[in-house]
Structure 1
Amino acid sequence: MSIAATTARETVQIASAGRSRDRNPASMVFLGALWFSLFFGVMVLVVLITDTAIDGAGRFDANLLTRYDSTLVPERTGFRAGILGTIWLMMFTALMAVPLGIAAAVYLEEFADSQKWYNRFIEVNLQNLAAVPAIVYGLLAVAVLAIVGINTRGVMLGGAIALALLILPVIIITTREAVRAVPEEIRQGSYALGATTWQTTWRQVLPSAVPGIATGTILGLSRAIGEAAPLVMLGLYSSVRFDPEGLMSAITALPIQIYGLSSNSQEAYREAASAAIIVLLVMVLGLNGLAIFIRNKFQRSW
């Protein structure tokens, strides 16, 4: 028998053995459990969303988006103030967290000396901060406002600070991963042409890491848009009947209004809260869709 025939025969035997090991009863049971867990989780989510949409179906009208909270006519209550407040909060949160998060990530990944104790201390704490409960960031924002002498409760500045602190570790970690994924050959080629570390980072590394940075940033904002615990600690109002006017303006947010109305005894308010949940879900899915679009649009293969 020739060497080639022997090798082919051994290859077939190894492949057959691998397939048989993959299909033994234990692995098939485990695979079935994984698929059942996935199916169960998705079905529970679909049932919850469907049930919420049915409960709020009677309130999918223009009043839901254009009117303020109403105590006189519950059937016409709206979430204009909450929707606008949420949009403003996301804008100021992004202005505070995104530049700082990207700058910190670039410094830690491209310029910091990993052998220094303080850089290692920062890296360890970044991993821990990403798992801190959201309400803790609300307490931290209250402390920051007290330090700078702002004692007014329920203002946009406090909410933006809390949400910026909440998503800052996420932005830093995802940006570092995006920067780390850029091939080292790009950096070496830039250095070989005489570019400095800053020029290489600004002109080569960051443009190449845009898909990962944008995706991580938008997903961080998607998490912040649905948070209510930090905003409750800051005393954001559940009922506001005017549009936001600035950083020191009293505001409400959609999660706060949903929280307030869902526990109300009147059926009309609970129906409005169910409709507002779907509106908030659409906003979150819109941000996630934007993240997927940016990732696919600017993604590069090395």
Structure 2
Amino acid sequence: MTNAQLNRFKDKAFQAFGLFCTFFGLIVLAIFLLDILKEGLARLDWDFLTSLPSRRAARAGILTAWAGTLWILVMTALIAIPLGVAAGIYLEEYGKKTRMASFLEINIANLAGVPSIIYGLLGLELFVRQLQLGGSLLAGALTLSLLVLPIIIVTTREAIKAVPKSLREASFALGASKWQTIRMQVLPAATGGIMTGIILSLSRAVGEAAPLIVIGALAYVPFVPEGPMDEFTVLPIQIFNWVSRPQEAFLINAAAAIIVLLCITFMLNGIAVYLRYRQQKKVKW
């Protein structure tokens, strides 16, 4: 067998292995989803969505959990998006290519892969203890902002980097300043990629439980939070609380809550895919 034939055989083997892994993963995911739907759909109704938590499974609802999730999602977005996008623009357009800049870029990329519980420990020390915010919504939003900031920065930089230099040069040739070029040419062209990264990062934040548990988010909150300094719970923590109970009825509640959380996650991912597709269709280099 020649080297060319051997390489073709290896390529086909890797492709077959990749298809097998993908197919196997889809089967596992389908089994998981079907089991969750079978257990939770019967429990999912308006009362379940609008009821406060209870020690009785039949009366327990997820009002405080999804309200806390919404608070956390909005506050995290308000904190992380401006900082992440601004940092990405600065590093890509204004930052000098020095050794320190390269070191900073490598560390930002590495931070995107740090386990979320490490951010929880950082948030516990910095926001809960030093700033004395306690187990509040603000402390949770700041902690999750640290979690998603590296992802937003990296995706913003990659989206800006994908904009061709010819677009910038044409803008400069017409007399536009650097900031005018960035604001009116580069950012509109990179909006699809930036928004995709933002939404995917927020989708990750919605599903996080470990860092919020570390900073002191509660598993049982009998009231809906009304301000940033209120105590809170979120859907992942409520699900964790229910699956740890021995009663089967609480497991059914957890399955229904998982369906709600999956709907939120799939909706965010769907928006990201739509924005990406729309931008690719609109802008063709």
TM norm. shorter chain > 0.5? yes
Task: Give how far 1:31 is off.
Answer: 2.6
Deviates most, 250-259 or 46-55:
46-55
- Partner letter of residue 41 of structure 1? G
Query: How does 1:1-302 map onto structure 2 within 5 Å?
Result: 21=5, 25-71=9-55, 73-115=56-98, 117-146=99-128, 148-150=130-132, 152=134, 154-299=135-280, 300-302=283-285
Question: Normalised by the size of structure 1, how large is the TM-score?
Answer: 0.89
- Partner letter of residue 100 of structure 1? L
Calculate percent identity across the aligned residue pairs: 45
Task: Give how far 1:23 is off.
Answer: 10
In 2, the alpha carbon distance for the partners of 1:88 and 1:242 equals 14
Task: Give how far 1:141 is off.
Answer: 1.1
Change (3 A) 1:139 1:180: same
In 2, the alpha carbon distance for the partners of 1:216 and 1:23 equals 36
Alpha-carbon deviations, 1:111-170, whole Å to 9, x = none?
01012x332221121011011100011111112225653152x21011101111001000
- Partner letter of residue 57 of structure 2? P
In 2, the alpha carbon distance for the partners of 1:27 and 1:147 equals 54
Task: Give how far 1:60 is off.
Answer: 1.4
- Partner letter of residue 97 of structure 1? A
Change (3 A) 1:119 1:147: farther
- Partner letter of residue 296 of structure 1? Y
Task: Give how far 1:27 is off.
Answer: 4.2
- Partner letter of residue 36 of structure 1? F
**Structure whose alpha-carbon radius of gyration is higher:** 1
- Partner letter of residue 91 of structure 1? V
Where structure 1 has 5 or more consecutive residues not aligned to the other structure, the ranges are 1-16
Alpha-carbon deviations, 1:162-213, whole Å to 9, x = none?
1110010000000100000011001001111121111111111011100000
Task: Give how far 1:30 is off.
Answer: 3.2
In 2, the alpha carbon distance for the partners of 1:158 and 1:151 equals 6
Task: Give how far 1:295 is off.
Answer: 2.0
Root mean square deviation, CA, Å: 1.9
